[in-house]
Amino acid sequence: MKVKLSQDVLQANEAIAEVNAARLREAGVFAVDMMSSPGSGKTTILERTIDDLSDRLEIAVIVGDVSTTRDAERIEEAGADAVQINTGGACHLDANMIRDVLDDMELAGYDVLFIENIGNLVCPAGYVLGEAERVMVLSTPEGTDKPAKYPAMFRTCSVALLNKIDLSEALGVDDQEFVEEIGMVNPHMKVMSVSALTGEGMEEWYDWLQDGVNSMRK
CA distances from 65 to 85, 87, 150, 152 (A): 6, 6, 20, 21
**In this model, does residue 6 exceed pLDDT 90?**
no
Picking from 46, 30, 126, the residue whose alpha carbon sits closest to that of residue 81 is: 46
The pLDDT-based confidence of 10 (bands split at 50, 70, 90) is confident
The pLDDT-based confidence of 217 (bands split at 50, 70, 90) is confident
Question: 62-90, pLDDT tens digit by residue?
Answer: 999 999 999 999 999 999 999 999 999 88
* pLDDT averaged over every residue in the chain: 95
Question: 26-71, pLDDT tens digit by residue?
Answer: 999 999 999 999 999 999 999 999 999 999 999 999 999 999 999 9
pLDDT for 67 equals 93
The pLDDT-based confidence of 4 (bands split at 50, 70, 90) is low
Question: 127-169, pLDDT tens digit by residue?
Answer: 999 999 999 999 999 999 999 999 999 999 999 999 999 999 9
pLDDT > 90 fraction of the chain, expressed in percent and rounded: 94
pLDDT for 8 equals 79
For 100, half-sphere exposure in the C-beta direction (CA atoms, 13 angstrom radius) is 8
Sheet hosting strand 190-193, strand order edge to edge: 81-86, 59-65, 112-116, 30-36, 133-139, 159-163, 190-193
The beta strands (E) that lie in the chain are given as 30-36, 59-65, 81-86, 112-116, 133-139, 159-163, 190-193
The pLDDT-based confidence of 218 (bands split at 50, 70, 90) is confident
**In this model, does residue 1 exceed pLDDT 60?**
no
**In this model, does residue 2 exceed pLDDT 50?**
no
**In this model, does residue 110 exceed pLDDT 50?**
yes
Tell me, yes or no, if the pTM score tops 0.85. yes
2-45+87-216: CATH topology is: Rossmann fold (3.40.50)
